Amino acid sequence: MTIVALGRLTVARYNQAMTHARLVFEPEARQALRRGFNLLADMMTVALGPRGRRVAIARDNPRRPPELLDDGATIARRFLGLPNRWETMGAFLARHIAWRMEEAVGDGATTAVVIARAVLDEVDRLVAAGHNPMPIRRGVERGLAAVLAELANLTQPLATPDQVRALATAIVGDETLGHYIEEIFDTVGPNGAVDVRTNYGRNHDRQYIHGALWNQGWVSSYFATDAGAAILKEPYLLFTNHPLQRAEQLAPIMGRVREGGQGRGLVVIAHGIEKDALNILVTNKTRGALPTLAIKTPGLGHEKDEILQDLATLCGGGLFLAEENRPLEEATLAGLGQADEVQAIRSGFTLIGGKGRPAAIRQRYQELSGQIPDATGRERDRLVERAGKLLGGVALLMVGAATETEQEFLKARAKEAVQVVRLGLQEGIAPGGGVAYVKCLAALDRLNLPDDEAPACAVLRSALTAPMRAILHNSGYEPAPVMAQVLQRGDGAGFDVMRGCMVNVTQAQIVDPVKVLQTALQIGISGALMAITTQVLVHKPRHNRDEAVDFRP
């Protein structure tokens, strides 16, 4: 389905187009778009805030319990459509905003949709009063720049353990998990590798692994040495992206390790290891001639070469790349990496005590860390993970619960908490609970816009107060009188919905990462501006289906 923005049509063309089953024009187009947008926004907004409700979504298997969600991005992701195709387009616009937030920073999807809805509602009111939406749009874009600058001025470091613990606990809703997350980041640092896993029991736990843990296991179970694991002490490591298929590729270096390695083994990490190359490694291991282990390079696509470089730096070895025409037959012991121990199972391997030069490891770490601020989505997560593993440690946060449904819920919230705390540690925090947005209202008072753009201030004012209004409403409070108190007191004052009183939100540890606040404002307003000037909806059917059958949900 596609949203197309067109200019004004003549009345004759409008009436003619209205008879077409695949086109809808203004005002029906705008109304249908808003109805669909509001339906999904309503479903997501109920989950906003520490006292937000949950949404139960039925699973494909009717025998399993419903999925309980209080994360806006996941709720939007489970949405599949509405009976009306035009309303579905509006709902998908809200879903797209949520998805962009999830991809960018991993949190704040509901906040972005709430902001977008407030912008759309206020612009609708202004357009109905006779204002032109195009000057309003220009004014909103100018005002947004001023608000973002004001948000940057509110930034404070996330420095104390109490702040980290409070932020994590507010997101995950469990004090034990909040305490563990604070402990983990205190141990591994803001760029440390943290893996959230399922614990087989009711209790939560954490574990620290000294070494780099990767989710890529052995090539063959024949490499196992003890109880389903392969363990090599003080091995040499060969890193290459050559496709290993012939025994002749590995035989020379294996001979050098056997002759000069003083009983040490060989670990081969390559993009592909098969046929005779795999056979020679397995045969030497099973016959006791040489301890060996074969592991496929972790990662996907071009990332594989980057991870090989990480591992080579960590272990102090050379990297044999096919693009550089470095034949493996010329590899020497001095060109191989070294480590204290390599452990591998079917689903992953751990590298402990790499012998790389500390200066080279620090340089590689700085290179990866420098790429993190400009990355988004999965790329950002992978850079953070890779940088953390270069530090030589991995933290495992294991989430337990009494039921499968509760465990899935807590695990998802714990992953989000880890992401948000990491952003706070890296880029700072601001007052939470919607207070940071309210403090940015002062920036609108300083704006000097032309008369035709001046209504944009009312649009942005509505957008900046919308998150706090939604949080108060979800917590059972009447937003208007509480908002009046917050605006009157100022100075970082906000309403603590958990305790039901006015507090200084920063001192009460009610904070949000600045990156999330800025991104939610940008994406929410950007998504709303796309819909402001949309006057035509066009439905594009699939041509490979029978049009006599209605496949709409």
Query: Rounded to the nearest 10 degrees, what angle do helices 404-427 and 161-172 cross at?
Result: 140
Strands annotated E in 299-455 = 319-320, 337-344, 349-354, 393-399, 429-431
Tokens of 275: 């046929």
Query: So what's the pLDDT on residue 543?
Result: 57
Query: How many whole angstroms separate alpha carbon 111 and alpha carbon 47?
Result: 10
Mean pLDDT of 325-337: 84
pLDDT at 235 over 90: yes
Query: How many whole angstroms separate alpha carbon 54 and alpha carbon 131?
Result: 39
The domain locations on the chain are: 2-155+431-538, 161-211+366-427, 214-356
Query: How many whole angstroms separate alpha carbon 396 and alpha carbon 393?
Result: 10
Residue pair 164/426 in contact (Cβ under 8 Å)? The answer is: no
pLDDT at 435 over 50: yes
Do 161-211+366-427 and 2-155+431-538 have the same topology in CATH? no
Centroid of chain to Cα 481: 36
Residue pair 516/434 in contact (Cβ under 8 Å)? The answer is: no
- How do residues 178-210 score in pLDDT, each as one tens digit? 999 999 988 888 877 788 888 888 899 998 877
Q: Among 296-305, 334-343, 346-355, 539-548, which stretch is predicted with the lowest mean pLDDT?
A: 539-548
Tokens of 67: 């999925």
Antiparallel, parallel or unpaired: β 266-273 and 236-244: parallel
Please compute, for residue 552, the number of CA atoms within 13 A of its CA located in the half-sphere on the CB side: 15
Q: From 3.40.50.850, 1.10.560.10, 1.25.50.10, 3.90.1150.10, which CATH number describes the 2-155+431-538 domain?
A: 1.10.560.10
Backbone angles phi, psi at 152, to 5 degrees: -60, -35
DSSP string covering 310-324: HHHHHHT--EE-GGG
Tokens of 62: 């009717």
Report percent pLDDT > 90 for the chain.
32
Tokens of 445: 């008072």
CATH architecture of 161-211+366-427: 2-Layer Sandwich (3.30)
The position carrying tokens 């052995």 is 218
Amino acid (1-letter code) at residue 149 = A
Query: How many whole angstroms separate alpha carbon 219 and alpha carbon 268?
Result: 10
Instruction: Return the CATH superfamily for domain 214-356.
Output: GroEL (3.50.7.10)
Residue pair 83/42 in contact (Cβ under 8 Å)? The answer is: no
Q: Which residue has the higher pLDDT, 3 or 289?
A: 289
Q: Among 1-10, 213-222, 344-353, 530-539, which stretch is predicted with the lowest mean pLDDT?
A: 1-10
